[in-house]
Structure 1
Amino acid sequence: MELTFLGTGAGRPSRQRNVTSMALTLPQPRGSIWLFDCGEATQHQLMNTPIKLNKIEAVFITHLHGDHINGLPGLLSSRSYHAGSGPLQLFGPQGIKDYIDAVFRLTSSHLDYELIITELEAGVIYEDEELIVEAHPLNHRVPCWGFRIVEKDKPGTLDAAKARELGVPFGPLLGQLKNGRDVMLPDGQLVRSGDVTGPDLRGRIIAILGDTVPCHGVGQLAQGADLLVHEATFQGDMAEKAAAYGHSTTLQAAEAARAAGAQRLYMTHISSRYRDEDMVALLQEARSVFPESYAGADLMSIQIPRRGELPQDSSLS
């Protein structure tokens, strides 16, 4: 799994940061893309990455503020020009369907693929054989949501040599053992999957939050996450101003990560008052609370390893 930050700024674009969007690349062989928020110029940012619009299979919108959604109509329209664009699922707050319908009606736009719109309710909003997505409400100036992406556990690696020693022939029975199913051999011997496979591979958990002040929903989403993406609009001593605008500080993001037992925190939605040279001090104050704190940057890609694996990226600074 890989997460690419397409925009890490707050409110409006700046010379150093575009407004909010990020793309999650799902594990191979699936390799498709889930997009989280779609601020203005998101599709322009995508042109600076290997990501193709026809690989995006779902878009998740946290809330209807313009810096999180104004790039969506253009991106959806452009996707029609990419060969092989299949159905796309769009998840967002109440009102997102009205928004899309109004923009497309007034601009006479149409799509050459099926757009499936789901307006959010708390709980599981999506599940397939590999992944579960939960949505929980946050506390912002407008209805706002966060998403918890849970990868299902997978059976451990098959020890083919050990299976052969137990008399399992090459063929379908090995595949069944690899997939976690016990098998009966022709001679009546039962071979248990657990006897010839390693421990299950624990699924990863990614929590991606919209704009919020500290609230109960943050903990629900972030609990035990391998990666927590949390807004940190202001520095730690600006908690009063942050609360007035429905936002969090660096220290509050770090406290949320620590309380949830997260493995890594990436802060985003950084106010345009802060320049690149300010980020060292912001990181230091977050790390005083939660050492595994990092700052997102536009076009940065980070690997999300399984527990016990080392990240394969060089962005940890």
Structure 2
Amino acid sequence: MSLHVTFLGTGGAVPSVRRNTSALMLRREGDRLLFDCGEGTQRQMMRYGTGFDVSHLFVTHMHGDHTLGIPGLLQTWDFNDREASLAVHVPSGERRAMRRLLDGTGTDTGFPVRINEVGAGDVALEHEEYEVRAFETEHRTRSVGYALVEAARKGRFDRDRAQELGVPVGPKFSTLHDGEAVELDDGTVVRPEQVVGEPRPGRTVVYTGDTRPTEATEQVAAGADLLVHDATFAEADAERAPQTGHSTAREAAELAASAGVARLALVHVSSRYAGRSDVLAEEARERFDEVCLPDDGDELDVPYPDA
């Protein structure tokens, strides 16, 4: 089951030639989930071939570098005769602000657009195999982050052990793997726990949006497979981080280390580091090894923890 991230916009509030404003596409099999939608996101989607079949858009906060791409994207969908509904998730208290953004740009679509407010701890999207949860972040306005958390997977099926117990190859294997006991021709009952291992963990991807390092993020990201965290500033400008509600790359790395994540991606890179953004990765690696500083268009596959 593939879980794939495309970084559509890795820059801060001011776009640069190399980095667009915030947007991230997460693809899980046939599901496409868009997180934030800065100006020009739809062009980034075209450029990097992510596809447009998005049913859920998760907005971390209402600042323009995270939202100004939404009206254009919705209008493009409308011009292309989209019929499927769209759910736009926003922080609690921001439904009216999102409605004003859409109304003020003449965005009156022929397909349903549902604006859903979410607060810390709310499940924004519930799916049979995963859910997207909102968590508290600390910025200069109402804000949340989002975590995609997969359900646990079935344990591994021990085919050899099943055959040793007399289970014939065939449908009874699937029955056991689905958690049901089977009866053999001689009356023997074989139980799932005899041939199926312990449930295996799913994957977790955490996206913070703009934020200071917070205890809530650390808790949500505990053991996550990928943490995508605000890393607006280098240490030379560290005093700006608390003033503006952002993080330094080193702070993001310290949080990643404390949370025990498998991998950290640094985003929302200030345009002041154009041409020298490697300093952010270097400073982060002083605190945490598994760091990447993605460019726009970069992609990551998120493997299972036991892969």
Q: Could you state the TM-score of these two structures normalised by the residue count of structure 1?
A: 0.87
CA shift for structure 1 position 79: 2.4
Q: CA deviation at 1:165?
A: 4.8
Contact 1:73 1:100 in 2 (8 A): no
How far is 1:24 from its partner?
Answer: 0.6
Runs ≥4 residues deviating over 6 A: none
Paired-residue identity, %: 39
Moved more, 164-173 or 11-20: 164-173
Letter in 1 for 2:84: G
Structure 1 residues 170 and 83 mapped into 2: Cα distance closer, same or farther (>3 Å)?
A: farther
Deviations 1:221-248 (A, max 9, x none): 2211111111110102322111111111
Structure 2 gaps, min length 5: none
Unmatched 5+ stretches in structure 1: 310-317
> Where does residue 182 of structure 1 map in the other structure?
181
Query: What do residues 94-146 of structure 1 show as CA deviations (whole Å, max 9, x unaligned)?
Result: 35432343344444433343323210122131322211222112111111111
The CA deviation at 1:175 is 2.4
Take 1:254 and 1:152, find their aligned partners in 2: how far apart are those partners?
27
Larger mean Cα displacement after TM superposition, 213-222 or 241-250? 213-222
Q: 1:266 to 1:169 in 2, by over 3 A?
A: same
Alignment of 1:156-195 (within 5 A): 156-160=155-159, 162-169=161-168, 172-185=171-184, 187-195=186-194
Counterpart of 1:61, as a letter, is: V
Matches within 5 A, 1:1-317: 1-26=3-28, 28=29, 31-54=30-53, 56-82=54-80, 86-125=84-123, 126-160=125-159, 162-169=161-168, 172-185=171-184, 187-276=186-275, 278-309=276-307
Distance 1:88 1:188 in 2: 53
Residue by residue, what CA displacement relative to the aligned partner does 1:22-64 show, whole Å, maximum 9, x if unpaired? 01111x3xx211111110110000001232212x121111000
**Could you tell me whether the CA contact under 8 Å between 2:4 and 2:299 is conserved in 1?**
yes
Tell me which moved more, 43-52 or 121-130: 121-130
Per-residue deviation, 1:298: 0.3
- Distance of aligned partners of 1:114 and 1:177 in 2 relative to their CA distance in 1, 3 Å threshold: farther
Contact 1:124-1:135 at 8 Å conserved across structures: yes
Between the aligned partners of 1:5 and 1:245, the Cα distance in structure 2 is: 23
Q: Which moved more, 1:182-191 or 1:148-157?
A: 182-191
Residues 5-33 of structure 1 show CA distances to partners (whole Å, capped at 9, x for unaligned) of 0000000211110000001111x3xx211
Measured against aligned partners, the alpha-carbon deviations of 1:275-296 in whole angstroms (never above 9, x if no partner) come to: 24x2333212110111111112
C-alpha distance in 2 between matches for 1:66 and 1:84 = 25
Amino acid at match of 2:295: A
Residue 76 of structure 1, CA deviation: 2.3
Contact kept in structure 2, 1:136 and 1:220, CA below 8 Å: no
Aligned amino acid, residue 218 of structure 2 = G
Q: CA RMSD, aligned part only?
A: 2.2
Cα drift, residue 252 of structure 1:
0.5
Whole-Å separation in 2 of the counterparts to 1:89 and 1:181: 37
Separation in 2 of the partners of 1:77 and 1:167?
61
| Inter-partner Cα distance in structure 2 for 1:99 and 1:65 | 10
- Please give the TM-score of this superposition, normalised by the length of structure 2: 0.90
The whole-number CA distance in structure 1 between the counterparts of 2:183 and 2:41 is 53
Amino acid at match of 2:291: S
Residues of 2 paired with 1:120 and 1:172: CA distance?
A: 43
Q: Answer whether contact 2:62 2:98 (CA < 8 A) is retained.
A: no
Q: Report the Cα offset of residue 184 of structure 1.
A: 3.6
Mapped to 1, the partners of 2:286 and 2:9 lie a distance apart of: 26
Counterpart contact for 1:124–1:132, Cα < 8 Å:
no
Change (3 A) 1:44 1:167: same
Q: 1:263 to 1:85 in 2, by over 3 A?
A: farther
Question: Between Structure 1 and Structure 2, how many residues are aligned?
Answer: 304
Structure 1 residues 76 and 186: CA distance shift in structure 2, 3 A: farther
Displacement of 1:249 after TM fit?
Answer: 0.4
